[in-house]
């Protein structure tokens, strides 16, 4: 027992003292093996020694708790094990590609699409100011206004943007973007949500990665210049990072290594011919970005990711907006599993790519087992049923090493996010 606990405690600590750029692959893989073995060890104990099978009620509650624990533990291990494959964050590749591009004579025309539907005028104006300051000159700015506001048309003219308002709002954001594509003629397309502001060198940094003709899209991170309502209400803005940081610092780079980059809907550059190849942005999808990216990958186009923060936007400002945003993400990801262009049904994806895309969908199913874990203590107070048998020695031997290993490793694995 002592050896297991010390190994779970000391190995992550020793690895964390090595700077990330100097960590050999075997270090990360040894940590992944340790976490996997400790998880299997814990589940073996739960299945063989801890179940309460004394009555039908205790049996049901005990098996329900075990199922919830196992689901969360295994679904949590999947993204960790995906990092077994070597991966980088794409920054150095983007810088090298930019240098190669500058030495070439390829200066494609870029249509910058800015879809809007009722955002405050001052928010949209900041976006237009940022887009208007882009260093790259071979570009056309398009304001795609689904709300049809006269003041937006005036603002677009003020910043030298083409203005477009379509009749009807079918297809939501994807339909709006496709309406813009119908009139745009550039070889490349950049998309920014109306509350995002790009850095001046955004296009210069991204276009080089599209020198390779099989690259269909380059995605950059979303970052925010305001705290989300949870952090703000708790007063922890200086201590906590938004949960999106874990996705863009760690999950996207890992998915990039497997050829399964997720399009995030804003702050990306795509090749027009690639979008045409899949019929434009997928309009029957709630998460048109995710499904369009999946369709591009299935068609053989490469999606690249660079972790350099080249734009910033507004996070959800109220708790209601925050909840609605997460509900939309969850509904969109789960809906994608049923769509013909989604990761389950689309033809052209490898089994590894499907697994990586499906791992992202599993995340949204974790709410139910988490709720079970939160409510399970009520079985003790209301029913007098203890759903798990344990001893202090069993907890110290099986639970403590696993808990310590994850606690000490998670920041190392997700790059401090």
Catalytic residues: 146, 289
If you write DSSP's letter for every residue of 42-64 in order, what string do you get?
HHHHHHHTSB--SSHHHHHHHHH
Burial track 98-130 (b if 16+ CB lie within 10 A, e otherwise): beebeeeeeebebbbbbbbeebeeebbbbbbeb
Task: Please state, in angstroms and as integers, the Cα–Cα distance from residue 342 to each residue in 75, 251, 274, following that order.
Answer: 20, 19, 17
Rounded CA separation 171/216 (Å) = 22
If you write DSSP's letter for every residue of 256-274 in order, what string do you get?
HHTT-PPP-SSSEEEEHHH
Burial track 218-237 (b if 16+ CB lie within 10 A, e otherwise): bbbbbbbeebbbebeeeeee
Q: How many CB atoms lie within 10 A of CB 324?
A: 12
| DSSP 3-state of 190 | strand
- From the list 43, 173, 201, the residue with the least C-alpha distance to 116 is 173
CA 228 to chain centre: 16
Tokens 């260093």 sit on residue: 135
CA 189 to chain centre: 21
Cβ-based neighbours of 239, under 8 Å, separated by 6 or more: none
| DSSP 3-state of 372 | helix
- From the list 61, 64, 68, the residue with the least C-alpha distance to 367 is 68
Q: Dihedrals φ, ψ of 262, to 5°? A: -95, 125
Cβ-based neighbours of 34, under 8 Å, separated by 6 or more: 7, 8, 11, 12, 405
Instruction: Provide the token pair at 149.
Output: 């506001």
Burial status of residue 363 (CB atoms within 10 A of its CB: 0-12, 13-18, 19 or more): middle
1, containing H or E segment: none
């Amino acid at each position: 027992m002592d050896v297991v606990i010390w190994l779970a405690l000391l190995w992550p600590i020793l690895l964390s003292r090595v700077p990330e750029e100097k960590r050999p692959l075997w270090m990360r893989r040894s940590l992944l093996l340790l976490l996997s073995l400790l998880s299997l060890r814990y589940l073996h104990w739960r299945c063989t020694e801890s179940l309460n099978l004394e009555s039908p009620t205790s049996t049901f509650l005990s098996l329900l708790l075990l199922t919830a624990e196992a689901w969360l533990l295994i679904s949590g291990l999947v993204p960790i094990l995906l990092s077994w494959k070597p991966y980088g964050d794409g920054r150095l590749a983007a810088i090298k590609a930019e240098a190669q591009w500058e030495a070439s004579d390829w200066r494609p025309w870029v249509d910058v699409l800015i879809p809007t539907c009722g955002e405050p005028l001052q928010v949209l104006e900041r976006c237009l100011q940022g887009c208007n300051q882009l260093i790259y000159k071979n570009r056309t700015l398009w304001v795609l206004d689904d709300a049809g506001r006269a003041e937006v048309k005036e603002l677009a003219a003020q910043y030298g943007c083409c203005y477009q308002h379509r009749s009807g709002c079918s297809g939501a954001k994807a339909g709006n973007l496709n309406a813009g594509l119908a009139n745009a003629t550039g070889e490349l397309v950049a998309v920014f949500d109306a509350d995002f502001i790009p850095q001046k060198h955004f296009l210069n940094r991204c276009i080089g990665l599209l020198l390779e003709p099989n690259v269909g899209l380059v995605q950059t991170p979303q970052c925010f210049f305001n705290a989300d309502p949870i952090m703000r209400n708790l007063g922890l803005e200086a201590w906590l990072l938004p949960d999106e940081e874990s996705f863009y610092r760690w999950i996207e780079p890992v998915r990039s290594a497997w050829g399964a980059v997720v399009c995030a809907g804003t702050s990306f550059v795509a090749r027009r011919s690639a979008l045409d190849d899949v019929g434009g942005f997928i309009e029957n999808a709630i998460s048109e970005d995710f499904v369009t990216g999946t369709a591009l990958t299935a068609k053989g186009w490469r999606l690249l990711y660079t972790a350099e923060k080249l734009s910033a936007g507004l996070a959800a400002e109220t708790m209601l907006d925050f909840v609605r945003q997460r509900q939309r993400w969850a509904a969109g990801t789960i809906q994608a599993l049923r769509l013909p262009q989604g990761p389950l049904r689309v033809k052209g994806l490898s089994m590894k790519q499907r697994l990586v895309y499906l791992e992202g969908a599993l995340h949204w199913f974790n709410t139910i087992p988490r709720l079970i874990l939160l409510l399970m203590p009520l079985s003790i107070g209301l029913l007098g049923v203890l759903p798990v048998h344990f001893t202090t020695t069993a907890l110290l031997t099986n639970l403590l090493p696993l808990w310590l290993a994850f606690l000490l490793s998670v920041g190392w694995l997700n790059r401090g996010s």
